[in-house]
Amino acid sequence: MSETATTYAARAHARAQEGSVVETQPTVPSSSLSDPPAGVEARDVLWEETIGAGGYAARMLPAGSRLRIVDLEGDTCVALMLHRADRPIERLCIPDTVKLQWQAYPGPGYLLLSDMGRVLASMIEDTAGRHDTFCGTSLPGEIEPRYGSDAHGGALRSGRERLLLALAKHGLGERDLPPPVNLFKGVRIEPDGAITFLPDTSRPGAHVLLRAELDVLVSVAAVPHRLDPRPEYRAGKVRLTAWRGRPADGDDPARNATPEARRAFENTAEELALGLSSLASRGGAR
């Protein structure tokens, strides 16, 4: 007889797993993290989680908090989406992000802008060197032809499906999900308009550090880039660590990089001054 054949046996088996640690799981409470980032007190950690291929996660973070996203194995692709926490109709807008900065290739100092001209987050560190604002994430109909029906029916689903699951936990749905930005895998637009996939642009331990400029809902999914030609579903493990911090001040380099950046931060500061940012006063992440 199976050790879970009865309700009592199943309960005993489940309870026996208490304290088990696996490679992909959240740390709860996050303040119990044994290796916080340098200079960060464990009590200030708001979120610590590792996800693997096909994994997804979402968390609300207060304005000023930092989120470090680490490519643990040097071969991942992270679809990243941002929504304003208190008004999710305002969300990351890739066309406006690219247009306002006259730059489609993210790097240190790059701003992730909403569709209302405000800064949701700033990329204050980047050791990966290549990301993608052009292609969006994979769609359901693209998975089975590439990876087989088992992948489509199991854990290895499309980026859009995974992000929708993350958003559903916060009451959001399909109409709330525009194209995300892809981290750790890049593309290059050729002079003739062709898109060249750049597969080998990250390395083990490469990271992106984001600073939330408003209260945000962060959603991520570790899924293959939709132009990745490999037949295997490949997206290495990703570590997510967030901690308390302060928003950009008046002398911040990202804020003062260009006239357009200053205007976007002015729009953002007006919202903060109106007292509409409240996650920090409620204790941080949820």
Encoded tokens for 117: 């001209």
Residue 89, pLDDT score? 96
Instruction: Report yes or no: 188 and 104 within 8 Å, Cβ to Cβ.
Output: no
Instruction: Report yes or no: 158 and 223 within 8 Å, Cβ to Cβ.
Output: yes
pLDDT tens for residues 253-267?
Answer: 999 999 999 999 999
Q: Tell me the one-letter amino acid at 69.
A: I
pTM for this prediction: 0.90
pLDDT tens for residues 13-39?
Answer: 778 776 666 676 787 888 888 889 899
Nearest to 184 by CA among 236, 241, 121: 236
Per-domain boundaries in the chain: 50-282
- Rg (alpha carbons) of the chain, rounded to whole number: 19
Residue 224, pLDDT score? 95
HEC-encoded secondary structure of 152-219: HHCCCCCHHHHHHHHHHCCCCCHHHCCCCEEECCEEEECCCCCEEEECCCCCCCEEEEEEECCCEEEE
**pLDDT tier at 147 (50, 70, 90 boundaries)?**
confident
Residue 26, pLDDT score? 81
SS3 261: helix
For residue 47, pLDDT beyond 70: yes
Nearest to 248 by CA among 121, 133, 60, 61: 121
